Amino acid sequence: MTPPPPIGLLAELTHRCPLRCPYCSNPLALAAADGELTTADWARVFRQAAELGVLQLHLSGGEPAARRDLVELVSHAAGAGLYTNLITSGMMLDAGRLAALAEAGLDHVQLSVQDSEPGSADRIAGFPGGHARKLAFAGLVTQAGLPFTLNAVVHRQNLDHLGEIVALALQLGAKRLEVAHVQYYGWALLNRDHLLPTRDQLDRATVMVEQARSEHRGVLSIDYVVPDYYATEPKACMGGWGRQVMVVNPTGKVLPCHAAESLPGMVFESVLDRDLASIWTSSEAFEMYRGTGWMRGPCQGCVNAERDWGGCRCQAFALTGDATATDPACRLSRDHSLLDVAVQRAAAPAGDFIYRERARVKTSVL
């Protein structure tokens, strides 16, 4: 049966980034700049995405503004009829370039911050002075009249500042705050002992979010979900494998999720060899965990199978070494106790962050 078209496409334009966040969702092996798709390649991908039925395009990285052709890329995407969301650190965009992006048809900006407190934010990002630049960029976004979301990745080292992060979102004029708990694959898995929050922290944060939601209703909406390591039910990762979203990485490989390359033995096809629609509908990688036919163990026949789609394949592999296992976030998984073990281990971390390898890019406007 032909699957319905994806709603969204996440275009990882580049892995280059001035920041070095220790929970980066990019793979441990970062793509080199000379292997990135060209402007013409991306323009073709955007046209094919729109023809396939994609509505929303998320321009991400690394730092997407490290691409000199970002304005041109937005223009191609808007020309194809896609809603364009720029996910950025705000470190490489000045007022002129932002105005050009708005002129080219950019619809929305999603700005990441590492903390509310500048010293802590800069330490987490591995970039002195970065937080101040982000705040300045947020001012440019509101001046340009672009709607924007503040995105805060939270973990043990900043979760106690959530109240201040909410205040920062209000001060900056964001309409939405996305509070995203770290997900543990790739760089974040390497740093898990430094990042996993405690149960007490999590409980305080959850109460705080509920209060802030009611206090700021109609002004600021707050996205927040309980992190997997404290959950009893898994989330439908990416809305289910091969169901709602596809990811194109900087070199053109098409992935069902941003961490899929961590799964061994899988072959991901490229937009340089095959069109997006046929990769979506019939490539082996997208078929592998689509639907429920691949499930076994407690997932097979479970009443929730078409609600959470078995959770996250990358998390199942990261924790159990078996990508077909039930996601340990599920209380029915025989591996559920692995989460408790990880939380206990994280109570006494050794050493410091392992920062993401820094891609050498200039941080001035390109």
Binding site for ligand SF4 (CB under 6 A): 233-234, 298-299, 302, 304-305, 308, 310-311, 326-327, 330, 332
Rounded to a whole number of angstroms, the minimum distance from the CB of residue 323 to ligand FES is 9
CA dihedral angle for residue 234, residue 238, residue 240, residue 245, rounded to 10 degrees: 180
Q: Which partner, ligand FES, ligand SF4, none, binds residue 312 by CB below 5 to 8 Å per kind?
A: ligand FES
Residue 199's CB is within 10 A of a number of other CB atoms, namely 10
Q: Which partner, ligand FES, ligand SF4, none, binds residue 257 by CB below 5 to 8 Å per kind?
A: ligand FES
Express the helix, strand and coil content of the chain in percent, nearest 5 each.
40, 15, 45
Indicate whether 153 belongs to the interface with ligand FES (CB under 6 A): no
Residues numbered 233 to 252 that lie near ligand FES (CB under 6 A) are 237-238, 241
Q: Under a CB-based contact definition with an 8 Å cutoff, are residues 262 and 314 in contact? A: yes
Indicate whether 330 belongs to the interface with ligand FES (CB under 6 A): no
**Nearer to ligand FES (CB atom), residue 6 or residue 130:** 6
Indicate whether 313 belongs to the interface with ligand FES (CB under 6 A): yes
d(CA 179, CA 158): 11
Neighbouring residues of 213: CB distance < 8 A, sequence distance ≥ 6: 221, 222
Q: How far, rounded to the nearest angstrom, does the alpha carbon of residue 242 sit from its chain's CA centroid? A: 16
**Nearer to ligand SF4 (CB atom), residue 118 or residue 298:** 298
d(CA 272, CA 291): 27
**Nearer to ligand FES (CB atom), residue 142 or residue 324:** 324
d(CA 48, CA 262): 26
Q: Which of 33, 41, 3 is nearest to 17 (CA)?
A: 33
Instruction: Candidates 169, 179, 260, 288: give the one binding ligand FES (CB under 6 A).
Output: 260
Indicate whether 259 belongs to the interface with ligand FES (CB under 6 A): yes
Rounded to a whole number of angstroms, the minimum distance from the CB of residue 231 to ligand SF4 is 11
Q: Tell me the two tokens of residue 46.
A: 């955007």
Indicate whether 312 belongs to the interface with ligand FES (CB under 6 A): yes
d(CA 160, CA 208): 10
d(CA 356, CA 216): 35
**Nearer to ligand FES (CB atom), residue 130 or residue 186:** 186
Residues numbered 199 to 238 that lie near ligand FES (CB under 6 A) are 237-238
User: Amino acid identity, residue 135?
Assistant: L
Rounded to a whole number of angstroms, the minimum distance from the CB of residue 336 to ligand SF4 is 9
Q: Which partner, ligand SF4, ligand FES, none, binds residue 259 by CB below 5 to 8 Å per kind?
A: ligand FES
- If binding means CB under 6 A, how many residues of this protein chain bind ligand FES? 10
Q: Which partner, ligand FES, ligand SF4, none, binds residue 236 by CB below 5 to 8 Å per kind?
A: none
Q: What is the Cβ-side half-sphere exposure of residue 31, based on CA atoms within 13 angstroms?
A: 20
**Where do contacts with ligand FES occur on this chain (CB under 6 A)?**
237-238, 241, 257, 259-260, 312-315
